[in-house]
Structure 1
Amino acid sequence: MLKPELQAKFLQHINRKKKDDEGFTLIELLVVVIIIGILAAIALPSLLGQVNKAKQSEAKNNIGAVNRAQQAFFLEYQGFASSLSSLQAGVKTQTDNFSYVVASAAASASSFVQVVAVAQKPALKSYYGATYTAVGDGNTSEALTLAVACESIVPTRTVASISTAAAATGCQTGFTSLAR
């Protein structure tokens, strides 16, 4: 067994050593900060891309809702609505991300209508939907209401008007169909 004086000195030595070992060194802290920085640099672009996808889903949903509402409106009134307010689809004409406009040529308003979702921010894609009538196949002469929804290939803040023939063949140049 140790003498009490040696025991006290030994305990003091152990206590002193524990106090010296507390905390992190500067190098350890720098390594942690660098690792966090690398992870943030990898994750941030992916996160920002997901934010834009979420914003764009607003336009996709609204274009689809307006197309379906126009088809229902046509069944009721044998013509298409000329504005979002008369359509009563619950779609605002302006949001933080998109501006929505119903466009139709006055002469063909009974057979074709287009709704446009123009991006309000440069990083977002624009969209349009077209609803039109077509005569059924050879077995029936009923009028059918058909719809197309298109998304710009690259972010843009413009959408050109299209015709019934262009809608029937698909999306205009620079746009891709949402029906995949």
Structure 2
Amino acid sequence: MNKQKSKDRRWAGFSLIELMVVVAIIGIIAGYAYPSYLEHMNKTRRAEGKTTLIDIMAREQRYYTENNSYTLALDQLGYPVVGADNAVESENGYYAVTATACDDGNPPITCVLLTATAQGVQAEGGDGNLTLNSLDVKQRLVGEEALPW
């Protein structure tokens, strides 16, 4: 009877080695999953910046058809602007969008460049800035490199 009781106790739980193996496996899986998660979050926030650029450009095009000129003052398009640079924040604040003239800047402005500058967490991730101009040229600027969207 004593032998049976000690045999049952031996199989009653996990050993420290088994627990350490499980923790190591979870650590390895997390080590691979976390960078992938961060990249996914950057792409999601980048999509917000792209959506904001496209929406502002659509309003710029509408403004152009009515006035034969683009505007650099985004508040004229119905957006609330923030700061001295007349920037429009994306929905969750990950990008600040500004407008500059592609041409010489004298009226009438026939080409406008929208730049979405990464803010906060998005800027810390080194994701770069997004640009869209009225000629439909889309770029993602990371350092000195210009990448397509």
Deviation at 1:90, TM superposition (A): 7.8
Picking from 1, 4, 14, the partner of 2:4 is: 14
Alignment partner, residue 150 of structure 1: 139
Change (3 A) 1:129 1:108: farther
Superposed structure 1 runs of 4+ greater than 3 Å apart: 12-17, 89-92
Do residues 78 (structure 1) and 49 (structure 2) align?
Answer: no
Q: Unaligned regions of 5+ residues in structure 1, if any? A: 1-9, 132-145, 157-172
Deviation at 1:67, TM superposition (A): 1.8
Picking from 72, 79, 89, the partner of 1:94 is: 89
Change (3 A) 1:100 1:15: same
In 2, Cα distance between equivalents of 1:19 and 1:54: 51
Show CA shifts across 1:102-136 (max 9, x none).
112540443121111112214222011111xxxxx
Answer with 1 or 2: which has the greater Rg.
1
Do residues 68 (structure 1) and 58 (structure 2) align?
Answer: yes
TM norm structure 2 = 0.76
Q: Unaligned regions of 5+ residues in structure 2, if any? A: 82-86
What root-mean-square deviation, in Å, do the aligned CA atoms of Structure 1 and Structure 2 show? 2.5
Count, aligned residues:
136
Alignment partner, residue 139 of structure 1: none
Equivalences for residues 85-164 of structure 1 within 5 A: 85-88=75-78, 93-95=88-90, 96-104=93-101, 105-120=104-119, 121-122=123-124, 123-131=126-134, 146-152=135-141, 154=142, 156=143
Identity of aligned residues (%): 26
TM norm structure 1 = 0.64
Change (3 A) 1:177 1:25: closer
Do residues 174 (structure 1) and 145 (structure 2) align?
Answer: yes
